[in-house]
Structure 1
């Protein structure tokens, strides 16, 4: 195995040095001296830290209002129109004040804020690297504050692989501008020209040898100003931190079993609570005698509001015992009627649909040639967080504080405020990482539980932990989907016509209002969820990645958006991209076979984008595609490619596997992936995300399917909802990065899901000699396909 040459901090690097060698695997040794961010733990112990940051400053609002007045004045007859302000980079465009992102202290300490949350993707480390690079300070000198409605910018949700593209870009530019202001202030203080100064290790150095630590300069720096559209960014050839595999700051505590998650949080005087959920959608509590429950040891309170039931106790086991007793004492009236699970896809296609023409480049008569068509389906999927959802809340003097692993602290704050009838400024949501996420799972709902229960026992912090069966049966699912695809091949084996249709419910039922919080449905005065609506392209929801990146002369793509949802659904990692890429890339293999072409060459024949071609060629070359001409029975190889949302990271990968025809067991021997996500901040972080996404996709594609009967969800534990086990992990995964120094960050967190599913399906088809189009592909379906 070759190793990439990774420059050490302080070394000069050329563009060639910065490019991670194609085919090379970086080897990193993490020593005990790696910096560990203990700021979060100090925060949890101390309760809060007051930082005077400007979030949506009155000054900025006034500047915008003044700009509007100027525009109106300029519109008067004879007036000269003012220049249109340039769009600021990344999330600076919505939160333009520099001091919302960067704070400099006289101690030399740097505080960086982001509205994005750490979800296990390693973005905390990447944000620290970005700021450290532009400010010329050691990463250990930076304190990073994430997703807190009292202290950070409002960046909406941490979703869609936007963290680096939006927040990372904002931090990159804010830090660069702060660095320039430091040089300006130092030049005045030293009485020299600014261009004679440079910075290193948190110090400003003059040509005559004089040095000023940043702390000695900050008094002359005013960051309470609007960011400029153009920043004095460092030349990528001089990068010393960006591009290095800096050890992730969140890993040591997790590996050592330290307090790393919201599930680990303990506050002084904390009470424990459990909720008794309705047995099915719409069930109504008709009778309850809680006398015996209230008398149980440790029970502090039984909370009832309509059909909403919870119990509060001094310790966790007492809360669990009381919850079980309370559940046994409750009598419910059930009314839910769910569709037949066996015919769910036909049912979806009969539902009323809002018809959306996503793309249509058809004109003139349809070309002649060989026409192929296929249908693919996907079941409902659950997030299956390894740690069931948890939140803490405290209600003191009309002020609610919630510690939560939500992906959107600001939208959650608005929903909780509406639920409790509080002004939003009386609600504070603080993100704390949760042991399980990637999509709209139970995090927001358990936060609503904690808020409702904390209001019933004011003054004391309350910890609410869901049970496993509650997580599986009540969290929002990833929607079931149906896709139809047809294409025409001409005599030369080229695609000359493409028709695509997708049927899907909403992929975004996040917290637009209090009614999107599931616990509010059971209240005596329930809230109604905001109606579902499609997500516009190019981001898209069910239609995300429904437009192929391939060069197709004629194409029509239609989205049948289904507002009616028989099961509760919302965002799951990659949204519709997983299914649409699975379909498109599976069908590309079917078309290649019909054309008598190699699958990789067939893709390249239809690709002009040079960055797309580069990842396809690199993955194929490093895999040794396609391998030996003759393979043993059950042995297969598969390939797939996509650019996430046609906007984010490019990814191609090849899979080699064996299928045991008698049992249907699948053994993946190796996976080789190539990724272009623009400027690479932390190569190990990218590889972590790509590898994790591949495993998650393999689990979805082979094993996962939410089961339900005509009344309720039946997948309530890991036996009724099996996932990929350690024995199913590929024997080898190699991820090759194409670095693009100086180019924009392209999110890689969700780049893997679609291509991995299709490459796996294509390898299975190669090994079986038969195409499987309905996920999950494993189990009985695979055994049937193997015979």
Structure 2
């Protein structure tokens, strides 16, 4: 991306000494990723308790602790939040209040920070290093970070819903501040001075007379195994040295130089390779297979069969692939039930039994309606399309199982695997290793279940399971298809007076609530039944996420038709229902602006009271150079031929709880081919206190690109027998030739205010802004995704 957006807007409550972004020299970061833990087996429980206690309660006691000392809360939602044990504390300290669950300092002064969140490519590892370093007055490269490991870290449920910095980052920030205060108190006692006269610098405590005490020396006189306290003051933003500045992301060098960065890259000593054979379609069952013949192939170690579950293990990856293909050819299957007609899938979904959820129901005083719009929008099933097919490693040894996985929830995965294998949870350790591409529930959990099953069948060996492309694309849980219907009225002055909105959707959360949610467990001779789907309560929401507009509307009725029956396997995809709901709401705002003969930006501002929402809209419009305009009437430019240009605008506050994001865009439409070229996109974002400005821009830029691909091109296809978009030729994604020519992201920094999750803030606005720009360029309002190609050509015909 270009450097045109590398500014930050200072708002009135910004810190007084705010400085320009600075990128420090790329010092080597002492980052201990969770996959760097011992990989061959789960440590002896007694020895591990001793080591854990010795590292955390330095010099005072070696009290034994249970393995799950930091994992006591297991009631989770898709968003990653769960029942609080200390509700008065900030962030994830609510659920895990012990300071040494987050911050550990050994007698040598080594600082280790733990998080239950997983790095998914959002840059949270870098942000957490900055947060801990800021409050502890040390350099980020002096911090060792452990992420998402059931043997080491707090249980923070799933890494989802843009909660990582807001929940885990807040916990680390506050825990670090309290640990620093305890170190100062200990040092004061050892130096016989007032703690208020001491300062901290570079991992040392400095007295007024020049005497120094290392953090390692100071920790000997205190006990970090204690509950955090509410109300402990943080360092004031005016004194920040690390937070608010760009720090080079610690995960990027390996990714751009070909270093070991992903689980797909992991190679452990003595590792063997496995491949699975999936059924040809939903509901198909294995009738017969000659496994003995396959086991006689060169290098094959074992064919694993249990019911309709089928896999092969070999001493070499290519031999495993050859054996898998032979096993596929040898397997005979009974067909499963047919799939619905894809041509009428939305009508089919709307006719299925639904659980009725009243999301919003408010009635107020308003002028009479003068004009009413009634519209329907839809999105297809969508594939995560991870660039690297899902992969996992596992080893079963002496009754204990270790699984390395790019799951977004190591603790729920551990529980599901333990149930599937009839093991205790303390016999299973799940360690997160970053995967090559995914925001949402792709095949990561399923392949981890595969690795666990196969490892049990070959104890003492480390098993690597890599899905093939067609397996990933065919069997992953897709993003649900959705339909929305809106009836909205304006008064004579062009003000919204009534808003009625309905949405139909399957669940957006089939994550691992029990063993039955694992595909492998469903195929066993004694299969596990998936836990029934449940809606995610608002305000987080699932299919109804962001279904309530932030705009001022006196009469509002929002109804969620939650459909439990799933003709296609579905689960979480980045932003859940927000992608569709904001697409519909912000498309509708442009349609209403046309009906009111109003400029789309002015029309939004007219209906907004939230000053922060107004700030991002005005900033995006200003930096884009938005010119006041009235949207073109339908079909005003249709049939012109050649090319036309248009601009669009869209806004949302993610979940109405997190980051604000406004996007303006300029596009060119080729009327002959239906191609849409994005000339430039300008975004403005308010995510509260900014930890790493470049990290925020990364997420918004990436969100715009990913959502442009979703919205313009992507749709999972199927016929009445099977999924047909099983490779890249059948599932098109944005190519390099189609990425936006320019993306500028402008940030509003609000030091001292809470962190607002930004990872999914762009998904909804980036979808709607394309629909609005296409309508501006062509006069054709397209309400069904994907927007480009044949659908756009048909609209212009």
Which TM class, normalised by the smaller chain length? over 0.9
Contact 1:358–1:557 under 8 Å retained in 2: yes
Alignment equivalent of 1:653, drawn from 643, 647, 663: 663
Partner of 2:328: 327
Structure 1 residues 211 and 687: CA distance shift in structure 2, 3 A:
same
Alignment equivalent of 2:772, drawn from 762, 772, 776: 762
1:231-258 alpha-carbon deviations (Å, 9 max, x no partner): 2200001000001110111111111101
Contact 1:768–1:785 under 8 Å retained in 2: no
Partner of 1:124: 125
Q: Distance between the aligned counterparts of 1:525 and 1:5, measured in 2?
A: 59
Contact 1:376–1:484 under 8 Å retained in 2: yes
* 1:29 to partner: Cα distance: 6.0
Partner of 2:755: 745
Structure 1 residues 352 and 2: CA distance shift in structure 2, 3 A:
closer
Contact 2:35–2:432 under 8 Å retained in 1: no
Structure 1 residues 397 and 36: CA distance shift in structure 2, 3 A:
closer
1:699-726 alpha-carbon deviations (Å, 9 max, x no partner): 0000100000101100110000000111
Q: Distance between the aligned counterparts of 1:123 and 1:573, measured in 2?
A: 16
Partner of 1:773: 783
Structure 1 residues 366 and 663: CA distance shift in structure 2, 3 A:
same
Q: Does 1:597 align with 2:598?
A: yes
Structure 1 residues 3 and 392: CA distance shift in structure 2, 3 A:
closer
TM (norm. structure 1) is 0.93
Contact 2:5–2:745 under 8 Å retained in 1: no
Contact 2:7–2:746 under 8 Å retained in 1: no
Alignment equivalent of 2:708, drawn from 698, 707, 716: 698
* 1:367 to partner: Cα distance: 3.1
Q: Distance between the aligned counterparts of 1:236 and 1:475, measured in 2?
A: 44
CA RMSD in angstroms comes to: 2.4
Alignment of 1:414-429 (within 5 A): 414-429=415-430
* 1:198 to partner: Cα distance: 1.1
* 1:335 to partner: Cα distance: 2.0
Which stretch has the larger CA shift, 178-187 or 84-93? 84-93
Structure 1 residues 232 and 60: CA distance shift in structure 2, 3 A:
farther
* 1:149 to partner: Cα distance: 0.4
Partner of 2:60: none
Q: Does 1:35 align with 2:11?
A: no
Contact 1:515–1:529 under 8 Å retained in 2: yes
Structure 1 residues 552 and 509: CA distance shift in structure 2, 3 A:
same
Partner of 1:635: 645
1:660-705 alpha-carbon deviations (Å, 9 max, x no partner): 1011111101000000001000001010011111111000000100
Q: Does 1:578 align with 2:572?
A: no
Q: Does 1:784 align with 2:794?
A: yes
Structure 1 residues 658 and 463: CA distance shift in structure 2, 3 A:
same
Contact 1:44–1:265 under 8 Å retained in 2: no
Q: Distance between the aligned counterparts of 2:648 and 2:371, measured in 1?
A: 24
Partner of 1:90: 91
1:574-625 alpha-carbon deviations (Å, 9 max, x no partner): 0000000000000000000110100000000000000000000000000000
Q: Does 1:489 align with 2:499?
A: no
Which stretch has the larger CA shift, 169-178 or 49-58? 49-58
Q: Distance between the aligned counterparts of 2:398 and 2:190, measured in 1?
A: 48
Structure 1 residues 583 and 719: CA distance shift in structure 2, 3 A:
same
Gaps of 5+ in 1: 7-12, 21-25, 65-83
Partner of 2:740: 730
Which stretch has the larger CA shift, 294-303 or 50-59? 50-59
Contact 1:5–1:17 under 8 Å retained in 2: no
Q: Does 1:528 align with 2:529?
A: yes
Partner of 1:251: 252
Q: Distance between the aligned counterparts of 2:235 and 2:434, measured in 1?
A: 32
* 1:368 to partner: Cα distance: 2.5
Partner of 2:724: 714
SS of the counterpart of 2:445? helix
* 1:43 to partner: Cα distance: 3.5
1:11-47 alpha-carbon deviations (Å, 9 max, x no partner): xx98144387xxxxx6x66755453636567536787
Partner of 1:141: 142
1:509-567 alpha-carbon deviations (Å, 9 max, x no partner): 11110000011111100110000110000000000000000011110000000001100
1:346-395 alpha-carbon deviations (Å, 9 max, x no partner): 11110111111100112589932101111000000010000000000000
Gaps of 5+ in 2: 58-63, 73-84
Q: Does 1:113 align with 2:114?
A: yes
Q: Distance between the aligned counterparts of 1:450 and 1:46, measured in 2?
A: 14
Partner of 1:378: 379
SS of the counterpart of 2:52? coil
Q: Distance between the aligned counterparts of 1:405 and 1:459, measured in 2?
A: 22
Alignment of 1:42-57 (within 5 A): 42-43=36-37, 52=52
Q: Distance between the aligned counterparts of 1:387 and 1:284, measured in 2?
A: 28
Q: Distance between the aligned counterparts of 1:86 and 1:528, measured in 2?
A: 34
Structure 1 residues 44 and 118: CA distance shift in structure 2, 3 A:
farther
Structure 1 residues 14 and 187: CA distance shift in structure 2, 3 A:
farther
SS of the counterpart of 1:15? coil
Contact 1:37–1:250 under 8 Å retained in 2: no
Alignment of 1:301-700 (within 5 A): 301-362=302-363, 367-626=368-627, 634-700=644-710
Contact 2:106–2:219 under 8 Å retained in 1: yes
* 1:5 to partner: Cα distance: 8.4
Partner of 1:80: none
Q: Distance between the aligned counterparts of 2:487 and 2:237, measured in 1?
A: 45
Q: Distance between the aligned counterparts of 1:628 and 1:371, measured in 2?
A: 22
Q: Distance between the aligned counterparts of 2:101 and 2:378, measured in 1?
A: 45
Q: Distance between the aligned counterparts of 2:494 and 2:643, measured in 1?
A: 28
SS of the counterpart of 2:651? strand
* 1:154 to partner: Cα distance: 0.3
Contact 1:543–1:580 under 8 Å retained in 2: yes
Partner of 1:73: none
SS of the counterpart of 1:293? helix
Structure 1 residues 363 and 32: CA distance shift in structure 2, 3 A:
closer
Contact 1:478–1:507 under 8 Å retained in 2: yes
Which stretch has the larger CA shift, 347-356 or 46-55? 46-55
Structure 1 residues 473 and 60: CA distance shift in structure 2, 3 A:
closer
Structure 1 residues 211 and 696: CA distance shift in structure 2, 3 A:
same
1:37-96 alpha-carbon deviations (Å, 9 max, x no partner): 36567536787885516899679999x9xxxxxxxxxxxxxxxxxxx9761111111111
Structure 1 residues 654 and 18: CA distance shift in structure 2, 3 A:
same
SS of the counterpart of 2:220? helix
* 1:2 to partner: Cα distance: 7.6
Q: Distance between the aligned counterparts of 2:567 and 2:244, measured in 1?
A: 46
1:391-436 alpha-carbon deviations (Å, 9 max, x no partner): 0000011111000000000000000000000111101100000001
Structure 1 residues 665 and 366: CA distance shift in structure 2, 3 A:
same
Q: Distance between the aligned counterparts of 1:252 and 1:334, measured in 2?
A: 48
